[in-house]
């Protein structure tokens, strides 16, 4: 019964969404306020209906109702409670429903927060949100109904893929989707602005917090995914340049560019058409992210829902969405005037360079991800592009970006001169060289030293910018602290994000240059030495838990005879799925991670044990989370709220 109710709710949502698309659009054209306001109510109604359907699906999973096909395929009566819930979105149908649910949440937030917006702009944006919801609801109803019944009813379900039975996965996709779908906001508003024929500072200022929000969620989502792959998949790496990782990274790069270009548009009224294109690009890449994972077009470990037929549907939808938006852009682009000439030595100039580098990085990742597909299309050969390509191309681009990140924020808007900052920059360069030489010599890696130096340069540049804002050294210290307290939240967001990036870069450098690992067959009592550390296999105990059997190994790690840590690693066998997984044992500390994972083996010849020493790896995720946190801090900025007074015509950049 509940399944049918859920299905009906989805059909009703489809109808409501159709109206949400059509009526406000007509209203905006006729300038009819009542028709335009209809969109607000439709967006709220759509949210309620989809939330009901989603709750129904959760209830089906929790109650192990295996007459519903989805639950039978992806759950099991013995699955732990938490994984019954996360199992809802650990599959194709459920994850697309989650996608639409989040889309409707964002859609419903437009009327709540958009009171200060021009009525026609708001109506058109809500209408475009409706159109996207329509596409995805059609996709669900026609190709992937989550409420499909199964006859005859099986006695038990097939269980959730053991790889996905992890708390990291429980929260990774929802955050990723909050980010992906959050980018639908700039997209909808970009399209609405193109229809309106006007892109202005009001538009940019209203939209910026939404880009920030989506960006922060996306950052968290990717970070969790990376952490999950590190400790659950036991790959011994934090980033594999796996196609599915790449497709989540590309929208992030584009959103980062958008975050900065929209700042220029809001302050300097330039980069309007570029910002529109970035809005379209960022969301398009999010859609491609969904599309690539779901169609199996690129084969990788993540693609647990390979299904070309659905791929064709998503492909058509993707083409219509992006093609429609870019078509509209083609009609309007030439009427869009650039207002001011650009001075390269200025904050605007630095942000343009930032954008170019980020887009170059996006294209690099795009080529690396899709080049194998292109080669296969034209020659039939299957090839794969691995980490060496990305390290060769991506690392230099990022190093360059870090240097501009250090200098750019120091500069003033409009025009500035570098000679003013000579002494500051000199200090920064001295710090860079000093750190590069010290770490280069002691770590025996010139490149490693250089990267750490650049990270330090970024941290220094960021602090110098703050110093300039609070006039550190110019006025008495007490006054400076007062100025710091009076800084808007956005300043603290800036500090967090840029320092976070420096920490992240330092962490990445450490693990890339100074990691070590070994692999050996060990019997109980034997040990492996890795640098100063000794890993001893103490005992092996088999056992059985809720829904799997396991063989656990206690491994003790000592350094110079003193015990540092005992880690526990196990191999699990899930009978329902006939799958074996490895749980790695980790000793996390601020300075390093010691990692041990047990592989195949038997008591006679021993078990394969892999050990890794990863210096400072945890700072990768701390740096990334700091960036995300900084995004949320920026959102608290007062300037994002009382904005109705700023609605002046003079701010307007006209496309006529």
Partner 1 sequence: MARIFRATWPLMALLFLAILFAFGLTRDPSVLPSEMIDRAMPEFELTDLYRPNVVYTQDLLLDDVALINVFGSWCIACEVEHPKLMALSRMGDVKLVGIDWRDTREKGQRWLRKNGDPYDLVIFDEDSRLAIDLGVTGAPESFLVDKEGRIRYKHVGIITDDVWSNILSPIINDLKAEE
Residues forming the site for partner 1 (CB under 8 A) = 277, 280, 295-297, 299, 306, 308, 311-312, 315, 319, 322-323, 326-327, 329-334, 370, 373-374, 376-377, 380, 382, 578-580, 600, 602, 605
Q: How far apart are CA 202 and CA 639, in angstroms?
A: 12
Q: Look up tokens 């083996």; give the residue.
A: 601
Nearer to partner 1, 42 or 233 (CB): 233
Nearer to partner 1, 491 or 547 (CB): 547
Nearer to partner 1, 235 or 315 (CB): 315
Q: Look up tokens 């038997």; give the residue.
A: 602
Q: Which residues pair with residue 559 across a beta bridge? A: 533, 562
Nearer to partner 1, 141 or 373 (CB): 373
Residue 614 in 3-state DSSP?
strand
Q: Which residues pair with residue 595 across a beta bridge? A: 586, 612
Nearer to partner 1, 153 or 299 (CB): 299
Q: Give the list of residues 6+ apart from residue 227 with CB closer than 8 angstroms, or none.
A: 168, 238, 621
Nearer to partner 1, 155 or 334 (CB): 334
- The least distance separating partner 1 from the CB of residue 329, rounded to whole angstroms, comes to 6
**Structure token digits, residue 288:** 């491609």
Nearer to partner 1, 91 or 284 (CB): 284
- The least distance separating partner 1 from the CB of residue 415, rounded to whole angstroms, comes to 26
Contact 619, 503 (CB under 8 A): yes
- The least distance separating partner 1 from the CB of residue 311, rounded to whole angstroms, comes to 6
Residue 176, H or E segment: helix 167-182
Q: How close are the terminal C-alpha atoms of the chain, in Å?
A: 55
Nearer to partner 1, 167 or 319 (CB): 319
Q: How far apart are CA 644 and CA 526, in angstroms?
A: 71
Phi, psi dihedral angles at 532 (to 5 degrees): -85, -5
3-state per-residue secondary structure call for 78-145: CCCHHHHHHCCCCCHHHHHHHHHHHHHHHHHHHHHHCCCCCHHHHHHHHHHHHHHHHHHHHHHHHHCC
Residue 148 in 3-state DSSP?
coil
Q: Give the list of residues 6+ apart from residue 376 with CB closer than 8 angstroms, or none.
A: 382, 383
Nearer to partner 1, 176 or 287 (CB): 287
Contact 301, 233 (CB under 8 A): yes
- The least distance separating partner 1 from the CB of residue 393, rounded to whole angstroms, comes to 20
- The least distance separating partner 1 from the CB of residue 295, rounded to whole angstroms, comes to 7
Q: Give the list of residues 6+ apart from residue 373 with CB closer than 8 angstroms, or none.
A: 297, 298
Nearer to partner 1, 148 or 376 (CB): 376
Nearer to partner 1, 307 or 566 (CB): 307
- The least distance separating partner 1 from the CB of residue 451, rounded to whole angstroms, comes to 33
Torsion 215-216-222-225 (CA) sign: negative
- The least distance separating partner 1 from the CB of residue 355, rounded to whole angstroms, comes to 15
Nearer to partner 1, 288 or 625 (CB): 288
- The least distance separating partner 1 from the CB of residue 396, rounded to whole angstroms, comes to 24
Torsion 84-85-88-89 (CA) sign: negative
- The least distance separating partner 1 from the CB of residue 646, rounded to whole angstroms, comes to 31
> Counting Cβ atoms within 10 Å, is residue 234 exposed (0-12), middle (13-18) or buried (19+)?
buried
Name the E strands within 234-300: none
Region at 109 (left for phi over 0; alpha for psi -120 to 50; beta for the rest)? alpha
**Structure token digits, residue 60:** 């089906």
Q: How far is CA 468 from CA 415, 464, 472, 475, in A?
A: 17, 6, 6, 11
- The least distance separating partner 1 from the CB of residue 383, rounded to whole angstroms, comes to 10
């Amino acid at each position: 019964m509940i399944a049918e109710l859920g299905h009906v709710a989805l059909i009703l949502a489809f109808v409501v969404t159709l109206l949400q698309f059509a009526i406000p659009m007509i209203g905006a054209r006729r300038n009819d306020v009542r028709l335009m306001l209809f969109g607000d109510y439709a967006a709220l109604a759509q949210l309620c209906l989809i939330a009901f359907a989603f709750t129904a699906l959760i209830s089906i999973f929790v109650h192990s109702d295996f007459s519903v096909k989805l639950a039978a395929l992806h759950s099991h009566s013995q699955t732990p409670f938490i994984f019954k819930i996360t199992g809802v979105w650990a599959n194709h149908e459920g994850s697309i429903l989650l996608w639409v649910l989040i889309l409707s949440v964002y859609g419903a937030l437009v009327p709540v927060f958009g009171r200060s917006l021009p009525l026609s702009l708001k109506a058109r944006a809500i209408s475009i949100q409706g159109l996207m919801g329509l596409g995805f609801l059609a996709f669900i109803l026609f190709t992937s109904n989550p409420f499909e019944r199964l006859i005859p009813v099986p006695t038990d379900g097939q269980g959730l893929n053991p790889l996905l039975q992890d708390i990291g996965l429980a929260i990774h996709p929802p955050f990723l989707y909050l980010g992906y779908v959050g980018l639908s906001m700039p997209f909808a508003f970009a399209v609405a602005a193109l229809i309106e024929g006007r892109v202005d500072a009001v538009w940019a200022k209203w939209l910026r917090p939404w880009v920030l929000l989506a960006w922060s969620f996306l950052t968290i989502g990717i970070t969790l995914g990376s952490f999950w792959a590190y400790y659950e998949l036991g790959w011994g790496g934090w980033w594999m340049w796996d196609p599915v990782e790449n497709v989540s990274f590309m929208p992030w790069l584009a959103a980062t560019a958008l975050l900065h270009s929209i700042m220029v548009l809001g302050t300097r009224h330039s980069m309007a058409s570029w910002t529109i294109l970035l809005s379209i690009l960022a969301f398009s890449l999010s859609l491609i992210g969904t599309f690539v994972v779901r169609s199996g077009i690129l084969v990788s470990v993540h693609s647990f829902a390979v299904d070309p037929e659905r791929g064709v549907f998503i492909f058509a939808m993707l083409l219509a969405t992006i093609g429609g938006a870019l078509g509209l852009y083609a009609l309007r682009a030439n009427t869009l005037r650039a207002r001011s000439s650009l001075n390269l030595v200025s904050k605007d100039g630095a942000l343009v360079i930032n954008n170019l580098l980020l887009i170059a990085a996006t294209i690099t990742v795009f080529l690396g991800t899709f080049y194998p597909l292109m080669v296969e299309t034209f020659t039939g050969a299957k090839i794969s592009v691995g980490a060496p390509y990305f390290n060769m191309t991506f690392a230099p681009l990022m190093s360059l970006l870090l240097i501009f990140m250090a200098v750019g924020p120091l500069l003033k808007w409009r025009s500035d001169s570098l000679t003013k900052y000579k002494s500051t920059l000199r200090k920064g360069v001295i710090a860079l060289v000093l750190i590069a030489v010290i770490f280069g010599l002691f770590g025996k890696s010139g490149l490693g030293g250089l990267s750490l130096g650049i990270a330090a340069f970024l941290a220094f540049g960021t602090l110098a910018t703050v110093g300039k804002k609070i006039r550190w050294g110019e006025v008495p210290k007490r006054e400076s602290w007062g100025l710091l307290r009076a800084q808007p939240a956005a300043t603290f967001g800036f500090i967090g994000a840029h320092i976070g990036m420096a920490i992240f870069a330092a962490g990445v450098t450490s693990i890339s240059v100074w990691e070590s690992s070994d692999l050996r067959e060990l019997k109980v009592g034997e040990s492996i030495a890795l640098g100063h550390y000794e890993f001893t296999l103490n005992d092996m105990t088999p056992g059985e838990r809720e829904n799997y059997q396991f063989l656990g190994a206690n491994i003790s790690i000592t350094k110079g005879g003193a015990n540092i840590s005992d880690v526990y690693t196990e191999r699990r066998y899930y009978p329902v799925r006939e799958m074996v997984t490895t749980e790695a044992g980790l000793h996390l500390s601020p300075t390093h991670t010691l990692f041990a994972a047990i592989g195949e083996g038997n008591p006679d010849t021993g078990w394969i044990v892999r050990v890794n020493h990863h210096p400072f790896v945890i700072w990768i995720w701390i740096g990334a989370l700091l960036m995300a946190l900084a995004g949320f801090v920026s959102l608290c900025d007062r300037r994002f709220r009382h904005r109705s007074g700023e609605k002046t015509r003079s701010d307007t950049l006209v496309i006529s």
